Amino acid sequence: MELGCLHSRLPIYAKNKPNDIAVVYEDTRRTFKEFYERVNALANSLIEVGVKKGSHVAVYMRNRIEMIEIFYALSTAGAVAVPINYMIEGNDLRTLVNSSDATHAIVEAERLEAFEHVLDVLHTVTSSSTIIVGGSRSYPSYHSYELLVEHGWIEPPNVDVTGKDVAAMIYSSGTTSLPKGIMITHEIMIYRALMSATEWNFNYKDTWLISVPLYHSVGNLASFYLGVTGCKLVLTREFEPSKILNIIQNEKITVAFFVPTQYVVMLQVPDFDDYNLSSLKLLLSAAAPLAESVKKRILEKFKTSLTEYFGCSETSFFLQLRPRDILHKTSSIGHQLEDFEVRLVNDEGLDVGIGEEGEFVVKGKSLFKEYYKLPEVMQNSFLADGWFKTGDMGKVDEDGFYYLLDRKKDMIISGGVNIYPKDIEEIIFTHHSVMDSAVIGVVDEKWGEAVKAVVVLKEGSQIDEEHLMEYCNQKLAKFQRIKYIEFVSSLPRNPSGKILKRELRLRG
């Protein structure tokens, strides 16, 4: 079945409900007709400034309404969107842009200074192929985004885009290694969006809140729920808990995604009970496990259904803990979805038994096309018969519920024994003074590696390393015991909320 392209349904929505609101961002509201015409105008202007079918276009900005317009305009022009983490600067920014082979860049004015620091060392992007969004002054060396939209023809360009064409290059989260360019076609992205709509039961009547970065796979996919289902999107530039609760109330949000840390912070808002959150139908969580106590608080306070899911940028989500099981199997990450084949295998690629540790390997229609220009990495990421190796370790029980143990690369080996940081982190989190934690392995002359906990305390809490270590080690097996504790003000995280343990290990 042909699924079309990510922009294919926009003219239908513009015709059938021209005056309905499609996107909300701060004080800006765009109807479906306005959105469609601006997308076409931008697509035509991008073609005029040299963007061709298949061109890679870097998108370097924080969340803003133009970013969603850009994604759809690039789709309409047949180009490939390359969203880049707006926090990346210097050599890392140069490396990502150059390795993506981007010919053009669309940069918000707030990030222009960081972009200009590397502009002279970019291989194929120049000032004449750079477009500036926003800002309070003119930028004569660059193209103006608003002028491109203003002067562009509002009819769709004559570009033959198919479902097999690549729509986006999404960089991996880089939790254990440097980011890789993940190539996703139109039909793969549409399939992921349709799978989301089916599993989470949303359609054109719903209003989705996007508070996660659009350059990340979660936010990027959510931006296309508008085009695939006709739902309304409400976008925020950043996460501010009181503001988010106010948006849910005023915009009558029905579906929203947050990472565990965001839930914890929202639940601490002093006047939480004063907000009317009755419009919510479903809350979603991923990136890290939700503690049982937090789940109970979410259900009690938000008074709506909660679903946890598990996956990665290469696969989309392939496991889900549905609302009926959220407390029944609270430590599980759920059942496999019907759209996927899921196995747990050992180092030889052989299936492990119930309750035994193995690596998740996956097959399904929503798997990515390839890593960009990384053939060896691509080959090493699959078993011989086409199963994608996720790098995540888990086990399954007799009821078919899966449990996440940890990233394979995060596993600590001490004295020849495998230690999963997640097991230790769960114990640390039970202490009432702890807000957040991450466990890593550090070099140990005797055992090879020793366990180190990096801990964030709740505001106003006081406890020293010795007492926290004693509390945890009494609850841990001897081989799991913590040898070092470091208190920090925050943990480094990627946009989806996953802790960047690679950075913690580099600190030592």
Residues 6+ apart with CB under 8 A from 504: 438, 440, 454, 491, 492
pLDDT computed for residue 175 by the predictor: 47
**Domains contained in the chain, CATH given:** 30-177 (3.40.50.12780), 411-507 (3.30.300.30)
Nearest to 154 by CA among 33, 267, 71: 33
Characterise 398 by phi-psi region: left (phi > 0), alpha (psi -120 to 50), beta (else).
Answer: alpha
Reading the block at residue 170, the tokens are: 């999404």
Residues 6+ apart with CB under 8 A from 237: 25, 26, 62, 63, 64
> How far, in Å, CA of 239 to CA of 242, rounded?
9
Reading the block at residue 127, the tokens are: 């000032």
pLDDT computed for residue 177 by the predictor: 55
Q: Are the beta carbons of 101 and 56 closer than 8 angstroms?
A: yes
Sign of CA dihedral 184, 186, 187, 189: positive
Characterise 23 by phi-psi region: left (phi > 0), alpha (psi -120 to 50), beta (else).
Answer: beta
Reading the block at residue 182, the tokens are: 């993940």
> How far, in Å, CA of 83 to CA of 81, rounded?
6
Residue in the block written with tokens 């309304």:
232
> How far, in Å, CA of 54 to CA of 362, rounded?
28
> How far, in Å, CA of 310 to CA of 186, rounded?
22
pLDDT computed for residue 493 by the predictor: 83
pLDDT computed for residue 18 by the predictor: 98
> How far, in Å, CA of 395 to CA of 6, rounded?
36
207-210: strand order across its sheet: 28-31, 21-25, 232-235, 207-210, 255-257, 282-285, 305-312, 316-321, 335-336
Q: What is the CA radius of gyration of the chain?
A: 23
Q: Are the beta carbons of 479 and 419 closer than 8 angstroms?
A: yes
pLDDT computed for residue 271 by the predictor: 97
> How far, in Å, CA of 388 to CA of 153, rounded?
43
Q: Are the beta carbons of 139 and 115 closer than 8 angstroms?
A: no
Would you give per-residue pLDDT tens digits along the chain (508 residues)? Answer: 688 999 999 999 999 999 999 999 999 999 999 999 999 999 999 999 999 999 999 999 999 999 999 999 999 999 999 999 898 889 889 999 999 999 999 999 999 999 999 999 999 999 999 999 999 888 999 999 999 999 999 999 999 999 999 999 999 865 445 679 999 999 999 999 999 999 999 999 999 999 999 999 999 999 999 999 999 999 999 999 999 999 999 999 999 999 888 898 899 999 999 999 999 999 999 977 788 888 999 999 999 999 999 999 999 999 999 999 999 999 899 999 999 999 999 989 999 999 998 999 999 999 999 999 999 999 999 998 899 999 888 999 999 999 988 777 787 878 767 788 888 998 998 999 999 999 998 887 777 788 999 999 998 888 999 999 999 999 998 889 999 999 999 998 876 677 888 788 887 6
